[in-house]
């Protein structure tokens, strides 16, 4: 199954935005303190920010390794979304936006994982 250009572009854009919102959410969380600085939560945000950046670059250069990386990226994004929901409890706008973007990115990346360039 071939990845259409449009699906690839969507995944690239989702990774870009997911990277950016995770970097911002880390700052938001360390400003807030308390449950926002739970070690596993912050580490997930860091992992998610970094792997989205790598996925983006691999897709931009049509790397044969982008399906494999996008598969891991989708898993990280899903876990990060759950963590943002748990910490934000639906009332923290930054964490809600971050969770939403992580879910969008997980979906786009999972689609890439099942395609072959």
Report whether 73 contacts 53 (CB < 8 A). Answer: no
Task: Return the residues of window 56-95 that contact a copy of itself according to CB under 8 A.
Answer: 56-58, 60-63, 65, 68-69, 72, 75-76
| Least distance in angstroms from the C-beta of 35 to a copy of itself | 11
| Least distance in angstroms from the C-beta of 21 to a copy of itself | 9
Q: Which is nearer to a copy of itself, 90 or 93 (CB)?
A: 93
Q: Does residue 100 bind a copy of itself (CB under 8 A)?
A: no
Closest CA to 56 of 112, 114, 115: 112
Residues 56-66 as b or e (16 or more Cβ within 10 Å = b): bebbeeeeeeb
Q: Which is nearer to a copy of itself, 33 or 90 (CB)?
A: 33
Farthest-apart Cα atoms in the chain, separation: 46
Cα–Cα distance between 112 and 117 in angstroms, integer? 9
Among 53, 101, 108, 111, binds a copy of itself (CB under 8 A): 53
Report whether 63 contacts 47 (CB < 8 A). Answer: no
Among 4, 43, 86, 93, binds a copy of itself (CB under 8 A): 43
Task: Return the residues of window 9-38 that contact a copy of itself according to CB under 8 A.
Answer: 12, 16, 20, 23-24, 26-27, 30-31, 33, 37
């Amino acid at each position: 199954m071939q990845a259409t250009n449009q699906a690839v572009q969507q995944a690239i854009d989702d990774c870009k935005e997911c990277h950016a919102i995770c970097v911002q959410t880390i700052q938001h969380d360390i400003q807030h303190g308390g449950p926002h600085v739970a070690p596993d939560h912050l580490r997930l945000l860091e992992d998610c920010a970094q792997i989205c950046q790598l996925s983006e670059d691999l897709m931009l250069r049509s790397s044969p390794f982008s399906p494999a990386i996008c598969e891991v990226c989708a898993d990280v994004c899903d876990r990060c979304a759950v963590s943002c929901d748990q910490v934000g409890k639906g009332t923290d706008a930054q964490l809600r936006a971050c969770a939403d973007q992580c879910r969008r990115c997980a979906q786009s990346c999972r689609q890439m994982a099942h395609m072959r360039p």
